[in-house]
Structures are given as C-alpha cells and as structure tokens.
C-alpha cells in the first residue's frame, strides 16, 4: 500500500527536468515547460506542413485539410464569441489547440502539462488579461473603471473580487479535471495495467480533455463577450 502511495506521489510530482544556472540564480525548467516545447514543435511542424505550397486552383488534399481545419476552428470560436470577438479568434484557437494537444499528449505516456498548476495559472492569467484588455479597448479606460460599479455601486467589491475569482476558477477547473483524470488513470494502471484502462482512457484522456479545452475557451469567450457588451 505504501508502495502505491509512493508511486502515485511520484507521478503527481512535477519534476524539474534540468536547471539553468544563470549567474547566482538557479532557473528550474519543469517537465510541463519541456512538454509545452514539444507541443510547440508539433504545432509548428503541422502548420508549416499544412500551409506549404498553397494554391488558388487545383488544391492538394493537404491544403483542403488546412482550409477545413481553419474554417472549422473559426466557425467554432466565432459561434462562441459572436461577431464582436472576431479579433480574438486566433488567440482562442491557439489556446484551444494547445489545451487539446496538452490533454491528448497524456495518451503518449508523458504527463500532460495541464496537470501542472503553472500552466493552468498562466492560461487563466492570460485569459483574464485578454478579457480586461478587450473591455478597456472597447470602452476606454474610464469606461472600464466605471464598469466595476455596474449595475450598482455597492457591488464594486464583488466585481473586483470577480477579477480574481474568474481566473482562479478557470485555472482550478482545468487543473483539477486533468489532475483528477490523471490520478484515476494512475490508480487503474497500477491496479490492472492491461485492457481495463482502455475505455477509461477514452473517457478521461480524450473526451474529458477535449471537453475541458472547449469549456476553457468557451468561458474565456463568454467573459470577453461580457466585458465587451455592457
């Protein structure tokens, strides 16, 4: 039993792959960062491969795939943000692709980077910065400040609190989902390593991972809409 505990704790830990010694500073590079680099390389290769030799006529199958992916992503994200949020489509698409890949990469046996609180916190912080930026961009700085007192002056503390609750909720939702799925999968794998984890892996790694990516992007676009509309 103690053995299992040790193993799970080890799996749960986000290891520091290597440390850069920068003068007197030690900069630890976590596993999640390295895996993010791998995902970046995959995305870069995919993008270059798909968009190589684009033609107007006589399109190749590769170009068709690229065009349908872009069209689908755009339609998908615009369906959530509406017409006002068109400027944020590329960012939301990249977040969607990143979280999707990050959650699916768990299938390859590595730890998904979204299991690291750093990654989800970074995602949530970026989302909330984007939401506030959208609000400032739309309403101007004064209008943005004024929007905190809406609909009544008395709710201002709650609105300011919301500024922290929103990213925290985004962060913890993604982190908790991936972590929970990971723990359950590890338990199942340590119990029966063959056959049994397969259907659960389908649910926890593929379905849940993609749903969480969708929910993250959906909530971000919802917040953007809210910030832009008022």
Partner 1 sequence: MLRIDINLLFTVINLIIIYVIIRKLLFKPVKKIIAQREAEINKQYEDAKATQDNADALKVQYEQALSGAQEEKAAVISEARVKAGAEYDRIVADAKTAADKLMDDARKEAVKEQEKTIKQAKDQIEELVVAATAKVVASGQGEAADRELYNQFLTKTGENK
Partner 2 sequence: MGIALGAGIAALACIGAGIGIGIAAGKATEAVARQPEAESKITKLLLLGGALAEATAIYGFVVAILIIILLG
Decide whether 28 or 143 has the Cβ nearer to partner 1. 28
Rounded Cα gap, residues 176 and 169, in angstroms = 10
Q: Is residue 172 at the binding interface for partner 1, with CB under 8 A as the rule?
A: no
Phi and psi torsions of 22, nearest 5°: -115, 95
Residue 30 is given by DSSP the state E
Pick the piece of the chain touching partner 2 (CB under 8 A) from 22-30, 62-70, 176-184, 194-202.
176-184
143 binds, among partner 1, partner 2, none (CB under 5 to 8 A by kind): none
Q: Shortest distance, CB of residue 218 to partner 1, whole angstroms? A: 18
Phi and psi torsions of 121, nearest 5°: -65, -40
Among 28, 79, 143, 176, binds partner 1 (CB under 8 A): 28
Give, as ranges, the residues between 115 and 144 that touch partner 2 (CB under 8 A).
none
Rounded Cα gap, residues 28 and 119, in angstroms = 15
Q: What is the DSSP string of 11-23?
A: HHS--EEEEEEET
Rounded Cα gap, residues 197 and 33, in angstroms = 27
Among 76, 84, 118, 188, binds partner 1 (CB under 8 A): 118
Closest CA to 168 of 223, 100, 101, 210: 223
Q: Shortest distance, CB of residue 37 to partner 2, whole angstroms? A: 27
Give, as ranges, the residues between 185 and 214 that touch partner 2 (CB under 8 A).
211-212, 214
Pick the piece of the chain touching partner 1 (CB under 8 A) from 39-47, 78-86, 148-156, 191-199.
39-47
CB-neighbour burial class of residue 206 (10 A; exposed 0-12, middle 13-18, buried 19+)? middle
63 binds, among partner 2, partner 1, none (CB under 5 to 8 A by kind): partner 1
Binding site for partner 2 (CB under 8 A): 169, 172-173, 175-177, 179-180, 211-212, 214-215, 218
């Amino acid at each position: 039993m103690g053995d299992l505990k040790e193993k799970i704790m080890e799996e749960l830990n986000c290891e520091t792959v290597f440390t850069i010694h920068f003068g007197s500073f030690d900069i630890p590079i976590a596993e999640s960062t390295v895996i993010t680099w791998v995902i970046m390389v995959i995305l870069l290769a995919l993008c270059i491969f798909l968009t190589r030799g684009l033609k107007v006529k006589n399109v190749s199958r590769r170009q068709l795939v690229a065009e349908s992916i872009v069209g689908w992503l755009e339609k998908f994200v615009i369906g959530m943000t509406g017409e006002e949020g068109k400027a944020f489509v590329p960012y939301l698409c990249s977040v969607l692709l990143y979280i999707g890949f990050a959650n699916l990469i768990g299938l390859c046996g590595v730890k998904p980077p979204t299991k690291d609180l750093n990654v989800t916190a970074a995602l949530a912080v970026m989302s909330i910065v984007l939401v506030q930026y959208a609000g400032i961009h739309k309403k101007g700085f004064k209008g943005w400040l004024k929007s905190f007192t809406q609909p009544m002056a008395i709710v201002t503390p709650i609105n300011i609190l919301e500024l922290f609750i929103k990213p925290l909720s985004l962060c913890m939702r993604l982190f908790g989902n991936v972590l929970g799925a990971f723990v359950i999968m590890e338990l199942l794998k340590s119990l029966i390593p063959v056959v049994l984890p397969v259907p659960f892996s389908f649910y926890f790694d593929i379905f849940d991972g993609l749903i969480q990516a969708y929910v993250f992007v959906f909530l971000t676009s919802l917040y953007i809409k809210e910030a832009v509309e008022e």
